[in-house]
Structure 1
Amino acid sequence: MLQTPLQPSLPDPTYVPQAQKYDVIIIGAGFSGISALHRFRNQNLHAHIFEAGSDFGGAWHWNRYPGACVDSETPFYQLSIPEVYNTWTFSSRFPDHYELRRYIAHIDKTLVIRCDTTFNARVCSSTWDNGTAEWTVRTETGVTAKSRWLVLATGLLHKPYIPSWPGRANYKGLVCHSAQWNEGINIKGKKVAIIGAGATSVQLSQELGKQAAELTLLLRRPSYCLPMVQKTWFPDEKTAFHNGLPTLLAAARSSAVGIPNTRLNKRAQDVSAEERENYFEEIWAAGGMQFLLRNYNNIMLDKEANGMVYQFWKKKVRQRLTDSKKQALMAPDKMPFYFSTKRTPLEQDYYEVLNQENVNIVDLGKCGIRGFTERGLQLDD
């Protein structure tokens, strides 16, 4: 389709760009935006995506830090579009960010969606006009577009949080946000500090702790990490997935969390301590989110049952840490918060890395960060 030029060849202060018109405007080119574009096309609607980044992928376009990896397992973590899944097979249970970008490039090639996408076009305003029953969307680059429908496929991971600690200009080292990772950074032999203990920190720590001369992890509270149990798929497993994908993806769509599983239909207190322990071990060994999804039916509703889960988790974590101070910080005697009320990251060798002598852990619950110095961070203590 030929489009009216957005600006004349010579600057003209009186020039007003003619708005491009679509049936649907979609903001964001991650999985949701791509899926929306495909489905609107199938309804013979003229849809167009505006994306702030330079390519498709959403979070997986931006997330390039060492160790970045999905924690929703395949074959369920993919678009349920036959043209795509019939011509693609993931290599592992939890693909890393490199493979996810290859998958997204495959989606683009298969569905031919780039022609209906404008990149490097961060939307700065969207206005509804009751008179014309149209949305007017404007980007920071000066593009104006109109549509009858507007879809915000912006997700919730697009805006990094950067604390305003004083003295940053005085710091002589390098500051890098995980959401804006500089892939040219060489960590080997450096002193590194990671602030926070969420899912991103877990993945970063696993990688940087093996490269840095010294790694300091600063946290307010630990995450309740579960074993990922990463696995490379064998050819026969890939074939089995392909043959059953329509059924598997339909089951995922109708499940509570996008991964079909059946929670045990009994309370944690309904069985003996020995039976409960054996079952905990079974679903722990399954890896991924299975420990939560297949657990007893009252662990999220009953404080006592939730405490049983925590005590088992604490035991498993402490078995992998030899330093008593690290044990107390990463798996405290007193449960810091109820199990599964915060995001539960997956880990591969997180606790083994934390157990290394070159890794230190600082409890920010006892002393906060005051600000930067020339050589690092100054704490309140």
Structure 2
Amino acid sequence: MAVAGTTQPDHDVVIVGAGFGGLGAGIEFKRLGVENIAILERERDLGGTWHVNHYPGLAVDIASVTYSYSFEPNPYWSRLFAPGAELKRYAEHVADTYDLKRHMEFATAVTHAQWEEHDNLWRVGTDDGATRTCRYLVTATGFLSQPHTPDFPGLDAFGGTIIHTAAWDDGHDFAGERVAIVGTGATAVQLVPEIARRARTLTVFQRTPIWVVPKLDFPIPRPVQRIFARVPATQRIARLINTTALEALMVFGVLHFKQFRVGNRGAEMLARAHLRAQVRDRRTRRALTPSYDFGCKRPTFSNSYLRAFNDRHVSLETSSIDRLEPDAIVTVDGERIEVDALVLATGFDLWEANFPAFRIVGRGGRDLGEWWRANRFQAYEGIAMPRFPNLLSLNSPYSYSGLSYFTTIEGQMTHIRRLFGELRRRSATTFEVTEQANAEFLARVTEKLGSSVFYNGDCSSARSYYFNQHGEAALLRPSSTLATQREMDRYPLDDYVYS
């Protein structure tokens, strides 16, 4: 169904990104009867992070029954925490099931987008120099999509192999090599045990330790998979149980830290007990113990990461890197560590390069990136900004809800459904959130986050991507999964103006 407007654009909707956020948006627009959709993806295939990342040990860190669309369950997960390859296949399945692949264009990176006020449409530029127009623009570029490479002195002169986890070399064998890994975030937690099995020596460079809790992971037997397939209600129950446990951790331990400090301390005690049980050496345990409160930085699950430091050929290095030499890493303490291969598990540029992922200029010449950095990061209901008509930004400040990304995606799908239903009811083609509604939402979430661990706990040493460069924890929406869904289904439609 075509969408009317002053000038007929090339597409009714352009969605930037073919990860799970972009797939969810595509599904919702097709449900609304919109077929003139272009899904532009800079990579050569769909799946987002599950296409880009394929390092050894890659797996979900949220149980698979929860880390998936509630309306499209997969009864055939091989494990409770499915390996990354299965998430990639699940993305392919979703794209096939909802007929999304014919809308996709790969190896097409969007470089900029400009709102054309006279024609009421977006002009979108890509890296091949082409320009296309659309009535509605949706950014679904993901929260962790811009890999960060540290600027170590001598990095270019290093004579060994350098591999970033987001650009993994599947053909590289670490057998017999002296390997260094930089980073101890969730990626390194999965990767360290895998490399430790192959390398002659492994040195893990840690800037900030991470809270690690036990991982209740196990294969899902084929009979159970068949039950999930034949009686979908059983998988919905499993999802509910898992979601409830995650909600208790997130809501009571993190978002309501001020009121339920004992819940946060309980989670920390579990992580400390896990560390004591897994690591024999007292000095190593001390170095692996975070000095910040549980929840300031996203915790992770593992039964093998901490235990790897018991191996004689695995060492933990907490001194900062001063420089690289052709065959070694030199720390600020002057220690020289000979290295054959360097693995960068250094994460992503979240706030600098991802908000937004490309230049977006709205009504009156407002540049989204400049506006966010000068006036606080903000987005009404985590999806819309004033003076950016017909723009839906799925990876925005205060949009991430719960511990499963699919909570965020499905809430935003609900928001889109209601918003475009109102557009049609009013026979309108343009929407824009009001300045007042945006300001009130920002004030509301800021007040609610005042009870969180981010502002009541000790997060000074966390170096967490939850915090932006202004020290604000502007990523998470301070609501439970149920509250988020309810808010998305009930936000005042008059918070937008329509024309």
Indicate conservation of the 8 Å contact 1:37/1:48, yes or no.
Answer: no
Q: What residue number does 2:274 align with?
A: 316
Question: What does residue 373 of structure 1 align with?
Answer: 325
Q: Does 2:315 align with 1:360?
A: yes
Distance 1:310-1:117 versus aligned 2 partners, 3 A rule: same
Matches within 5 A, 1:55-66: 55-66=45-56
Structure ID, larger Rg: 1
Structural RMSD (CA): 2.7
- Matches for 1:328-343 after TM superposition, within 5 Å: 328-331=286-289, 336-343=291-298
Task: Classify the secondary structure of the residue corresponding to 1:73.
Answer: coil
- Structure 2 equivalent of residue 3 of structure 1: none
8 Å Cα contact 1:215/1:358 also seen in 2 = yes
Q: 1:132 to 1:296 in 2, by over 3 A?
A: closer
Does structure 2 conserve the Cα–Cα contact (< 8 Å) formed by 1:187 and 1:208?
Answer: yes
Of 180, 197, 203, the match for 2:167? 180
Q: 1:292 corresponds to which residue?
A: 249
- CA 1:60–1:308 in 2, change beyond 3 Å: closer, same or farther? closer
Going from structure 1 to structure 2, the CA distance change for 1:227 and 1:72 (only over 3 Å counts) comes to: same
Q: State the shift of 1:248 in Å.
A: 2.8
* 1:231 and 2:221 aligned: no
Q: How does 1:248-327 map to 2 (within 5 A)?
A: 248=236, 260-261=243-244, 292=249, 300-301=257-258, 306-307=264-265, 309-327=267-285
Equivalent residues of 1:323, 1:355 under 8 A apart: yes
Corresponding residue of 1:21: 10
The one-letter amino acid paired with 2:304 is: D
Contact 1:261 1:294 in 2 (8 A): no
Could you list the per-position Cα deviations for residues 245-278 of structure 1 after superposition, in whole angstroms to 9, with x for gaps in the alignment?
Answer: 59839986xx9xxx5316xxxxxxxxxxxxxxxx
How high is the TM-score relative to the length of structure 1?
0.78
Moved more, 205-214 or 225-234: 225-234
- Establish whether residue 101 from structure 1 lines up as the match of residue 125 from structure 2: no
Q: Hey, what does 2:479 align to over in structure 1?
A: none
| Alpha-carbon distance between aligned partners in 2 of 1:47 and 1:351, rounded to the nearest angstrom | 46
The corresponding residue for 1:32 is 21
In the alignment, what sits opposite 2:31? 42
2:253–2:295 Cα contact (<8 Å) kept: no
> Percentage identity across aligned positions?
28
C-alpha distance in 1 between matches for 2:131 and 2:253: 53
Displacement of 1:315? 2.7
* Partner of residue 79 from structure 1, selected from 66, 69, 73: 69
Residue 277 of structure 1 aligns with which residue? Answer: none
1:346 aligns with 2:301: yes
Aligned residues of 2:252 and 2:264 also touching (Cα < 8 A): no
Could you say what secondary structure the match of 1:166 adopts? coil
Q: What is the identity, as a one-letter code, of the residue corresponding to 1:248?
A: R
**Given the alignment, which residue of 177, 182, 207 partners 1:220?**
207
> How many pairs are equivalent?
323
Cα 1:309–1:119 change in 2 (3 A) is: closer
CA drift of 1:41 comes to 1.2
Q: In structure 2, what is the Cα distance between the partners aligned to 1:247 and 1:313?
A: 29
Measured at CA, do residues 138 and 241 of structure 1 come closer, stay the same or move farther in structure 2, by a change above 3 Å?
same
What SS does the aligned partner of 1:120 have? coil
SS in 1 for 2:161: coil
Indicate which of 113, 119, 144 corresponds to 1:157.
144
> What letter corresponds to residue 249 of structure 2 in structure 1?
L
For residues 155 and 213 of structure 1, do their structure 2 counterparts lie closer, same or farther at Cα, with a shift above 3 Å needed?
same
Contact 2:211–2:299 (Cα < 8 Å) also in 1: yes
Instruction: Note if contact 1:75-1:93 (Cα within 8 Å) is conserved in structure 2.
Output: yes
- Distance in 2 separating the partners of 1:305 and 1:40: 40
Change (3 A) 1:330 1:290: farther
**CA shift at 1:122, angstroms?**
0.5
Q: For residue 314 of structure 2, what is the amino acid of its counterpart?
A: V
2:44 pairs with 1:54: yes
Distance 1:116 1:305 in 2: 46
User: 1:79, 1:298 → 2: CA distance?
Assistant: 24
Q: 1:61 to 1:312 in 2, by over 3 A?
A: closer
Q: Against the structure 1 CA distance between its residues 290 and 204, is the aligned structure 2 distance closer, same or farther, given a 3 Å change threshold?
A: farther
In structure 2, stretches of 5+ residues that fail to align are 1-7, 334-499
When normalised by structure 2's length, the TM-score is: 0.60
Q: After the TM superposition, which of the residue ranges 102-111 and 195-204 deviates more from structure 2?
A: 102-111
CA deviation vs aligned residue, 1:47-73 (integer Å, no higher than 9, x gap): 110000001100101011111111111
| 2:326 counterpart letter in structure 1 | E
Are 1:353 and 1:359, in contact at CA under 8 Å, matched by a contact in 2?
A: yes
**1:298 and 1:378, CA in 2 relative to 1: closer, same or farther beyond 3 A?**
closer
Q: How far is the alpha carbon of 1:74 from its aligned partner?
A: 2.0
For 2:235 and 2:193, the matched residues in 1 are separated by 35
Q: In the aligned structure 2, how far is the partner of 1:298 from the partner of 1:142?
A: 45
- Write the letter of the residue equivalent to 1:355: N
